């Protein structure tokens, strides 16, 4: 095979790998973004639940204070009952006590309700906390795994890039320019195999005389249909035949 072509096949394999590495990085970024999103969602829920609980606890304290205040007002009103002088004053004092009692009942009911809601919120918060802990753990593990994999992969790609430079340096400039233009125009495939007298790039039949040139010529031969550079791929060996010695 033309030595330039051999070099270009290697260069193309590396170029394909470099191109794939961009897709791998994009996939990695997407996976991390998805993890981030899941984590953020749970963190937002946790913050909202925590705030709701704080509000509830604040309301609880407010109701407790109101209750205390109502109880003290009731005691004072009850004391007043003993010092009233007229029936009218007595009725008024009783009326006041009734009002205060209603208020006390309201505070007490409110406190019970708030305590129930707080309990529910605490349970929800605990669950969210557990989920959050799990997601954080998974996030850390997964991110580390992805980081390690990507780092390893990118190191390999960097090595390939160095190799590519030395290979490309050995290709004659015109052939390299042709290759570059073809790769851009032909979806990343500039050098393709000719198999069974067909171009493996465009799948078109190669005329016999051209095909013979691909086999024999020391020049680079292009596919008449797609202009890609052609090389002969050794045809697969007959695999049904038993290996010698068996
Ligand atoms: Zn072709």
pTM of the full structure: 0.63
Q: Which residues contact 118 (CB under 8 A, 6 or more apart)?
A: 53, 56, 57, 60
Q: Residue 214 is encoded by which pair of tokens? A: 């691909």
Q: What is the pLDDT of residues 15-44, one digit of tens each?
A: 999 888 888 888 888 988 988 898 999 999
- Span from the CA of 15 to the centroid of ligand 1 (angstroms): 20
State which residues have CB under 5 angstroms from ligand 1, the bound ion.
199, 201-202, 223, 225-226
Q: Is the pLDDT of residue 238 over 80?
A: no
Q: What is the pLDDT of residues 90-138, one digit of tens each?
A: 999 999 999 999 999 999 999 999 999 999 999 999 999 999 999 899 8
Say if domain 10-170 classifies as CATH 1.10.287.1490: yes
Where exactly does CATH 1.10.287.1490 map onto the chain? Answer: 10-170
Q: Following DSSP, what letter does each residue of 34-71 receive, concatenated?
A: HHHHHHHHHHHHHHHHHHHHHHHHHHHHHHHHHHHHHH
- Span from the CA of 203 to the centroid of ligand 1 (angstroms): 6
- Span from the CA of 202 to the centroid of ligand 1 (angstroms): 4
- Span from the CA of 180 to the centroid of ligand 1 (angstroms): 16
Q: Residue 13 is encoded by which pair of tokens? A: 């394999």
- Span from the CA of 213 to the centroid of ligand 1 (angstroms): 15
Q: 74-90 burial, b if ≥16 CB within 10 A, otherwise e?
A: beebeeeeeeeeeeeee
Average pLDDT, the chain: 90
Compute the distance between CA of residue 225 and CA of residue 102 in angstroms, rounded to an integer. Answer: 96
- Span from the CA of 204 to the centroid of ligand 1 (angstroms): 6
Tell me, what DSSP letter sits at residue 173? H
């Amino acid at each position: 095979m033309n030595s330039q072509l051999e070099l270009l096949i290697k260069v193309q394999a590396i170029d394909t790998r470099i191109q794939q590495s961009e897709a791998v990085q994009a996939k990695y970024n997407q996976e991390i973004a998805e993890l981030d999103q899941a984590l953020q969602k749970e963190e937002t829920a946790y913050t909202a639940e925590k705030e709701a609980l704080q509000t509830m606890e604040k309301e609880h304290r407010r109701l407790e204070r109101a209750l205390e205040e109502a109880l003290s007002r009731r005691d004072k009103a009850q004391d007043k009952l003993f010092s009233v002088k007229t029936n009218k004053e007595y009725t008024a004092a009783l009326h006041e006590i009734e009002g205060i009692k209603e208020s006390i009942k309201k505070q007490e009911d409110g406190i019970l309700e708030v305590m129930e809601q707080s309990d529910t919120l605490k349970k929800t918060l605990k669950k969210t906390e557990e989920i959050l802990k799990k997601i954080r753990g998974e996030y850390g593990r997964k991110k580390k795994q992805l980081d390690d994999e990507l780092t390893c992969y990118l190191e390999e790609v960097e090595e390939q890039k160095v190799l590519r430079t030395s290979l490309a340096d050995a290709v004659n400039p015109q052939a390299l320019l042709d290759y570059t233009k073809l790769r851009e125009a032909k979806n990343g495939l500039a050098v393709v195999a000719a198999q069974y007298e067909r171009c493996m790039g465009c799948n078109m039949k190669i005329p016999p005389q051209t095909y013979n040139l691909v086999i024999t010529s020391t020049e680079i031969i292009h596919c008449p249909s797609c202009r890609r550079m052609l090389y002969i791929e050794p045809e697969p060996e007959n695999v049904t035949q038993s290996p010698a010695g068996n």
